Every structure is written in structure tokens, then in C-alpha cells.
């Protein structure tokens, strides 16, 4: 596998072409941003944590029937993935109120929902990733109705699988964001699942064990990422 020229650099990862047109290599960075890139920083070791953790989770989800972009981990930071075309929809599921949900509706964090919520954001940095309803996604042809049904089905499996997985590690899955891509015309799970993209609260103390430590300047950011990886690897 040859790592060829860089195709794209995002806020948290670089994507490289390979000598196989169907495969990319992603290279996870320690860079951290929040509030649509307004707050910038570094979290030492984050790239390796997010890479290794995403790969463990993607392999688990494959077993549960969710196809993913994962192919092979090359190093602590680098992974071979299927060369997907990312759909410009961020898929967010929530089990407990937090973050933008709590802010939008003027409620406290920590309200446990009877049913998980499902929402889309339009993946567009210039617009600040606005909340988007399904009919608007269809109107703009961001995905087909069939693709959206598939996304909903997979997202529910991701939520159910990860709720149980994290609980076993002493972590409550509060909410998460996932992204899907198209590969050979099929919808598959792509991007990452990590403390950057999930809210995880310690079961006993409710301590925040995710990127909110960086967003909200709560301290112990690096240590928390390492602790989450340690628990995930157990």
C-alpha cells in the first residue's frame, strides 16, 4: 500500500490517495477546534486515541450489520479506509439532553429521553452546519429517500450497540455525531467515532469524558482522552 499525495485536510484529519483508487489513508491529527473552528488548540495524543478507538468501534459495528469504511490500521495515527464520497449530512442521535439541544430548547443538561432523538445537520462549514429537516435534505438532493432510510436504520444500530458497549466501560453515551459515505453506490459508515464526536459521561460521577473538556476549558483534556481509550480497549 503506497501513500500518495494528500487529497484533503480537514480540522482533525488528513486524507491521502493510495495506489489503489478504491482506498484512502486517513491520518489523524492532534489539532482540536470547536465552535466551527473559532476555538483552536491541540490535544496531545488525540490523533492516536481517535484513530485506535474508531477502528475498534467500526469493527464492532461491522459485526452488528453496519457496513463501515474501515479496512486496516497502519499505525497509531493512520488507517486504510474505503474511498467513500461523504454525504453532506451530519447524523446526530441523543439519549440525554446536552450541548446544542439544551441550549436550543432552554433546558438543563442530563434529561434522560424515553426515546433517542435523531437529527440531521447540513455539513457546510460556511453556514456553520445548520440543523436540517429531512424534507430539506431531499429538496437539495443531498441524499435519496432510500439512502435516508438506510442511514436511519444504521444510526439506530450504532446507538443501541454503542450505548451497551460504553456502559460496559463505565460510560454513558449521551449523544453522538456520525457521517456516512457512498462506496460502490452503497451507504456505509465513515469518518470517526471518538471523544471528539460523542458525549460520554462517567457512570458514577457524571464527569464529562469527551471533547466538552476542551470546548468548555474543563482541564485534564489529554488525560481524559487516554482514559477513554484505556476503557475502550478493556
Nearer to ligand TMP (CB atom), residue 42 or residue 100: 100
Grid cell of 174 as nine digits: 449521551
Please, what is the minimum distance in Å from the beta carbon of residue 196 to ligand TMP?
6
Decide: helix, strand or coil at residue 159: helix
Nearer to ligand TMP (CB atom), residue 24 or residue 201: 201
Nearer to ligand TMP (CB atom), residue 17 or residue 169: 169
DSSP 72-88: EE-SSSEEEEE--EEEE
Nearer to ligand TMP (CB atom), residue 52 or residue 91: 91
Please, what is the minimum distance in Å from the beta carbon of residue 125 to ligand TMP?
9
Give the whole-angstrom CA distance, residue 225 versus residue 32: 12
Please, what is the minimum distance in Å from the beta carbon of residue 89 to ligand TMP?
13
Bridge partners, 172 (sequence order): 201
CA distances from 109 to 102, 198, 201, 204, 227 (A): 6, 15, 11, 16, 23
Please, what is the minimum distance in Å from the beta carbon of residue 60 to ligand TMP?
18
Please, what is the minimum distance in Å from the beta carbon of residue 17 to ligand TMP?
25
Nearer to ligand TMP (CB atom), residue 105 or residue 184: 105
The residue of the chain with the least Cβ separation from ligand TMP equals 99
Q: Site residues (CB under 6 A) for ligand TMP?
A: 92, 98-101, 129, 175-177, 196-199
Answer whether 189's CB lies under 8 Å from 129's CB.
no
What are the start-end ranges of the H helices in 88-144?
Answer: 99-105, 134-139
Amino acid at each position: 500500500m503506497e501513500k500518495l499525495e494528500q487529497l484533503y485536510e480537514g480540522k482533525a484529519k488528513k486524507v491521502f490517495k493510495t495506489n489503489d483508487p478504491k482506498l484512502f489513508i486517513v491520518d489523524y491529527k492532534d489539532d482540536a477546534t470547536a465552535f466551527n473552528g473559532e476555538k483552536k488548540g491541540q490535544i496531545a495524543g488525540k490523533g492516536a486515541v481517535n484513530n485506535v478507538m474508531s477502528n475498534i468501534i467500526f469493527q464492532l459495528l461491522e459485526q452488528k450489520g453496519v457496513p463501515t469504511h474501515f479496512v486496516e490500521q497502519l499505525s497509531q495515527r493512520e488507517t486504510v479506509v474505503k474511498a467513500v464520497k461523504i454525504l453532506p449530512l451530519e447524523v446526530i442521535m441523543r439519549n440525554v439532553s446536552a450541548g446544542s439541544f439544551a441550549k436550543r430548547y432552554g433546558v438543563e443538561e442530563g434529561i434522560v429521553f424515553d426515546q433517542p432523538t435523531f437529527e440531521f445537520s447540513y455539513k457546510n462549514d460556511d453556514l456553520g452546519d445548520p440543523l436540517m429537516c429531512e424534507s430539506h435534505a431531499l429538496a437539495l438532493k443531498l441524499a435519496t429517500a432510500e439512502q435516508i432510510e438506510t442511514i436511519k436504520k444504521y444510526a439506530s444500530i450504532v446507538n443501541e450497540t454503542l450505548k451497551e458497549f460504553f456502559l460496559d466501560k463505565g460510560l454513558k453515551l449521551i449523544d453522538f455525531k456520525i457521517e456516512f459515505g457512498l462506496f460502490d453506490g452503497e451507504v456505509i459508515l465513515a469518518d470517526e467515532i471518538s471523544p471528539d464526536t460523542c458525549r460520554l459521561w462517567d457512570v458514577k460521577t457524571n464527569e464529562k469524558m469527551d471533547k466538552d473538556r476542551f470546548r468548555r476549558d474543563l482541564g485534564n483534556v489529554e488525560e481524559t482522552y487516554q482514559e477513554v481509550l484505556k476503557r475502550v480497549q478493556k
